[in-house]
Structure 1
Amino acid sequence: MTRLREQALRQPAEAAAVLDEARRLRTDLYACLTDPQDGRAFKSVAGAVEDAARLSVFTRGEDGLGRWQPSPAAGLRLPVCAVARNAGELLADPRRFTVRGCPSPDCGWLFLDESGRRRWCSLATCGAKRSAWDLSDK
């Protein structure tokens, strides 16, 4: 990350463009996960996933397993490429339909609800706040 930080300081215009790209990806991925019918958002995320695939290399890990990783040639886009690849994996996984939104009005986080019974992004944060509110109303 130090290398990326230094590169961003040397290339502030490119860093700003990559930050905008990351924000668009976040917005479109959120739309894909909260509205599976949003074709525009899906196409946008798919484009980012395809770009990330072009900027990836297949390497062998210490455990002997192969894995795709963003190429160092991705430069400042390396973190965006990593997120885009993971987004593509999630959108290709049936578990994407278990993504739920936290009902807390000041949260907005998404989470995987594989049990089908989960309500909060985190019981320790939003769930605990809601429980405290419920108790104070009694």
Structure 2
Amino acid sequence: MSDLVPLTGEPLALDLVNTRPHTPDGPGDLVATVEGLRVWLGLQADRLAGALPEGGEASLTDDDLAAAVTAVREVREHAAVAIDQARRGLRPPGDALSGLNRAQRAAPAVRALAWDGAAVTAVPRRDGPPGARLAAVLAEAVAELLTDPAVTTVRECAADDCVMLFLPAHPRRRWCSARGAATGPASPGTTGVTAPPTRLYRERNWREVEIAPEVVMTNVRIESANLDRFHSAGP
């Protein structure tokens, strides 16, 4: 399962929940290890201001990441439960909301002011161990989605073997990836989607992640735009 890399490009909260895909071998967990979390953080680096080392700060060590794995997975569990209820218009469990609140309080953001030679800048900064900072950023992303009215439009992929969530830009969208849209609904005598998303991760994204993580982000965004055009052109 180490060769699986999650599709990204949805709101950060959904990208986090989507690190638990279904695979041919059963449920997966793409941030359960130091290496898995490192890959995911690399894909999300531009959305984790204040959580990852910047400038002259030391890089995260394996020990830092090992501690962060637990914190990230805890936030993910609270996020999954809360989002599942909120997208159905139901009240999220109090325990899930409390857990997200605790994560945010553990490393609150401060807008650190500085002079860059031409103007005053304000950059998010957080105190605390890396795991707490990362959990706080992710919990805030979940809070943003939960309080957005669009949360009720979050959908689960229509493929039978997929549990990925997405926020559709077009109401016709039914799949988490363009490959699902390309195969379309089941025809008589077929099983429908022929290539599960986990296969898409392995076959198309892994080499690109190793070479240049930003390529994957670009491809996913293009794919999402093409997917929306696919549905808008439908009957």
Q: Which interval holds the TM-score relative to the shorter structure?
A: 0.5 to 0.7
**Superposition pairs for residues 61-100 of structure 1, below 5 Å?**
69-71=124-126, 73-77=127-131, 78-100=133-155
Structure 1 position 17, deviation (Å): 3.3
State whether residues 154 and 165 of structure 2, in contact with CA within 8 Å, keep that contact through their aligned partners in structure 1.
yes
Structure 1 position 136, deviation (Å): 6.8
Task: Tell me, in whole angstroms, the C-alpha distance in 2 between the residues paired with 1:32 and 1:107.
Answer: 19
Q: Which residue of 2 aligns with 1:57?
A: 110
Identity of aligned residues (%): 25
Residues 91 and 59 (structure 1 numbering): CA distance in 2 closer, same or farther, change over 3 Å? Answer: farther
SS of 1:74's equivalent in the other structure is coil
Q: How many residues align?
A: 127
Structure 1 position 114, deviation (Å): 4.9
Structure 1, unaligned runs of 5 or more? none
SS of 2:110's equivalent in the other structure is strand
Structure 1 position 67, deviation (Å): 6.8
Task: Tell me, in whole angstroms, the C-alpha distance in 2 between the residues paired with 1:59 and 1:67.
Answer: 5
Q: Which residue of 1 aligns with 2:73?
A: 23
Q: Which residue of 1 aligns with 2:181?
A: 127
Q: Which residue of 2 aligns with 1:32?
A: 82
SS of 2:105's equivalent in the other structure is helix
SS of 1:97's equivalent in the other structure is helix
State whether residues 120 and 127 of structure 1, in contact with CA within 8 Å, keep that contact through their aligned partners in structure 2.
yes
Task: Tell me, in whole angstroms, the C-alpha distance in 2 between the residues paired with 1:126 and 1:101.
Answer: 13
Structure 1 position 119, deviation (Å): 1.1
State whether residues 81 and 92 of structure 2, in contact with CA within 8 Å, keep that contact through their aligned partners in structure 1.
yes
SS of 1:119's equivalent in the other structure is coil
Task: Tell me, in whole angstroms, the C-alpha distance in 2 between the residues paired with 1:97 and 1:75.
Answer: 34
- Asked if 1:117 corresponds to 2:168, the answer is no
2:102 to 44, 47, 56: 47
State whether residues 49 and 88 of structure 1, in contact with CA within 8 Å, keep that contact through their aligned partners in structure 2.
no
State whether residues 34 and 101 of structure 1, in contact with CA within 8 Å, keep that contact through their aligned partners in structure 2.
no
Which protein has the bigger helix share? 1
Structure 1 position 22, deviation (Å): 0.4
Structure 2, unaligned runs of 5 or more? 1-51, 192-235
Task: Tell me, in whole angstroms, the C-alpha distance in 1 between the residues paired with 2:66 and 2:99.
Answer: 19
State the TM-score, normalizing by the size of structure 1: 0.68
Residues 132 and 96 (structure 1 numbering): CA distance in 2 closer, same or farther, change over 3 Å? Answer: closer
State the TM-score, normalizing by the size of structure 2: 0.44
State whether residues 58 and 68 of structure 1, in contact with CA within 8 Å, keep that contact through their aligned partners in structure 2.
yes
